Amino acid sequence: MRSRNPFVMDCGVFTTNYREDMAILHHPAAKLKVLTIAAVFLFLPFFVSPYYVSVANLIGIAIIGAIGLNILVGFTGQISIGHGAFMGVGAYTAGILTATLGWSFWIALPAGGLMAAVIGGLFGIPSLRLKGLYLAIATLAAQVIIEFGIVHWPALTRGPAGMVLPAPTIGGLVLNTDTSFYYLILTMTVAAIVFALNIFRTRAGRAFMAVRDRDLAASVMGINIFKYKVTAFALSAFYAGLAGALWGHNLGMISPEHFTIKVSILYLAMIIIGGLGSVMGAIYGACFMTLLPIVLRELADFFGGGFAGLTHAMLAMQEAVFGLLIILFLVFEPEGLAKMWRNIKDYFKLWPFSY
């Protein structure tokens, strides 16, 4: 269990019992790697400017949302085009609790997640009868109907104008800067990742994958498909709700246009580009899709010198690039960035004997 070369970490690892076999981190080097990464992120705000911290916040939120969607789409095989709306449910529930009722953020955050889980589970019920295309269309209907509800229930949601949310406080500390919020999001993101990694070592997680691979076979083996499909919807929506609630409080305001079908598609794009059915994939995809528009904007500023008309063309170009990337990834690397990264590692691991 000695590691010689950072690329050949899993060489010579022989597990002798189930406990070791089930471990997420198989050897000390992997633990060291994870600890190093954790330390980097823990001290990140001390090294970089607040702007990059705010970008990191957005990435963290996207990671939570993308992992949630990947649990449903990548691991359970149920397509959802309603993730944006579920984020909206979480954001609005938390927002109404903190802004209108004046509750503490620390109650509102899980409440937002739970409410999204309830609604998500509700819209997951059609998955009993519907599969594939039909389910995708049903979740699209959920998206449209929830959006309608948010816009047309002004007594609760203040309609299209949106609502302003207070900053969360912990003890006497108000989390109103990017840096203070960063630690909240970092904690939540790590919790989300660890929970997701662990769930696939339990009965529920294995049941999800069995349902994905062949639901009829899973049902013959004694898995209650309906229960696990609805659970997957609820769990995925719970993640979405948390992400939405964090997003709203990070920005300080929410309005219906933040949770449109475009958001649902963006998250689908994240998990496709990152890698379906992989927690790491969701993380890579979330980073990639959050950074892409920022990089594109920087490029446009660099080459365009800040023409007024350019910003508009930028938005259009961004959309076209998103679309093109989705298609290219689907055609050339359907397993996404996660697979690409594995290929790169494998190349070095096997070098110079690549067969």
Q: Is there binding between residue 312 and other proteins (CB under 8 A)? A: yes
Whichever of 158 and 249 has its CB closer to other proteins, that residue is 158
> Shortest Cβ distance from residue 333 to other proteins (Å)?
12
**Which residue stretch of 60-68, 166-174, 242-250, 309-317 sits at the interface with other proteins (rule: CB under 8 A)?**
309-317
Contacting residue, 35, 315, 344, 350, with other proteins by CB under 8 A: 315
> Shortest Cβ distance from residue 191 to other proteins (Å)?
28
What distance in Å separates the CA atoms of residue 24 and residue 7, rounded to the nearest whole number? 18
The answer to whether the CB of 168 falls within 8 A of the CB of 187 is: no
The residue count for binding other proteins (CB under 8 A) is 44
Q: Is there binding between residue 191 and other proteins (CB under 8 A)? A: no
Whichever of 227 and 312 has its CB closer to other proteins, that residue is 312
Q: Is 264 exposed, middle or buried (0-12, 13-18, 19+ CB in 10 A)?
A: buried
**Which residue stretch of 54-62, 188-196, 321-329, 337-345 sits at the interface with other proteins (rule: CB under 8 A)?**
321-329
Q: Is there binding between residue 296 and other proteins (CB under 8 A)? A: no
Q: Is there binding between residue 133 and other proteins (CB under 8 A)? A: yes
Q: H or E element: which one contains 3?
A: none
Compute how many other C-beta atoms are within 10 angstroms of the C-beta atom of residue 79.
21
Contacting residue, 6, 28, 132, 252, with other proteins by CB under 8 A: 132
Whichever of 132 and 252 has its CB closer to other proteins, that residue is 132
Q: Is there binding between residue 161 and other proteins (CB under 8 A)? A: no
Q: Is there binding between residue 221 and other proteins (CB under 8 A)? A: no
The answer to whether the CB of 191 falls within 8 A of the CB of 38 is: no
Q: Is there binding between residue 311 and other proteins (CB under 8 A)? A: no
Nearest to 119 by CA among 147, 155, 159: 147
**Which residue stretch of 13-21, 43-51, 171-179, 262-270 sits at the interface with other proteins (rule: CB under 8 A)?**
262-270
The answer to whether the CB of 74 falls within 8 A of the CB of 278 is: yes
**Which residue stretch of 112-120, 161-169, 188-196, 266-274 sits at the interface with other proteins (rule: CB under 8 A)?**
266-274
Look at strands 253-254 and 163-164 and give their pairing: antiparallel
- What sign for the dihedral angle of Cα 125, 126, 130, 131? negative
Q: Is there binding between residue 137 and other proteins (CB under 8 A)? A: yes
DSSP alpha helix (H) spans, the chain: 18-22, 28-47, 50-70, 83-95, 105-124, 132-151, 154-157, 178-199, 203-213, 215-220, 225-251, 261-274, 279-304, 308-332, 336-350
Q: Is there binding between residue 144 and other proteins (CB under 8 A)? A: yes
Terminal CA-to-CA distance of the chain, rounded, Å? Answer: 24
Q: Is there binding between residue 313 and other proteins (CB under 8 A)? A: yes
Residue span 23-62 as binding mask against other proteins, x where in contact by CB under 8 A, dash where not: ----------------------------------------
DSSP string, 107-152: HHHHHHHHHHHHHHHHHHGGGGT--HHHHHHHHHHHHHHHHHHHHT
Nearest to 240 by CA among 324, 135, 123, 334: 123
Q: Which residues bind other proteins (CB under 8 A)?
A: 73, 79, 126, 129-130, 132-134, 136-138, 140-142, 144-145, 148, 151-152, 216, 261, 265, 268-269, 272, 276, 312-313, 315-327, 330-331, 334
